[in-house]
Structure 1
Amino acid sequence: MSTPQPSQTRTNNAPELQQIVDAIRGRRRFVVSSHSRPDGDSIGSQLAMAYALRAIGKEVRVINADPAPPPLMAFPGVPAIEIAARVDGELDAAIIMECGELTRTGVAGLDRFFVINIDHHPGNTRYGQINWFDAGAAACGEMVFDLVRALGAPLSLEVATHVYLAILTDTGSFHYSSISPRTFDICRQTLEAGVDPVLVARNVYDSNNMGRLKLFGAVLSAMQIDPTGRIAIVYLDHEMARAAGGTYEDTEGLINLPLTVKEIQAVVFFKQVEGDQYRVSMRSKGDIDVGAVAKEFGGGGHKNAAGCTVTGAIDALQKVFLEKIEQAIELRDSRIVGLQK
Structure 2
Amino acid sequence: MITLQQSVDTFIKKTTRYKRTKANLTNLFISSSQKGKKDTTFAIFEQRDAVKILDKPLTDPLVLGTLPRLIKESVIAYNSQKETAINIYQQYTKFVIDEYCFDLSITFPPIFSSSFDRQLFILKLLHEGQWEVNDLADHLWMGVRTIEADIAALKGNDDSIRIMGNVLVVEGMERRSKKLSFQSTVHPLFLTPNLTQVVVMLQGLKVMENHKVYRVYARRLAVNIWTQLSDYGRKRILIVTGLLSLDESRYRELDQNFNSSLFATEEQCSYRHGAENVMDYLKNGKECVLEIMEFHGDRKILKKCIIKGLNENWTQVTIQCEEEHKIISLDSILSVGESEELLY
Instruction: State the TM-score, normalizing by the size of structure 1.
Output: 0.26
> Quick check: which has more Rg, 1 or 2?
2
Q: Which has the higher contact order (CA 8 A, sep 6+)?
A: 1
Instruction: State the TM-score, normalizing by the size of structure 2.
Output: 0.26
More helix as a share of residues:
2
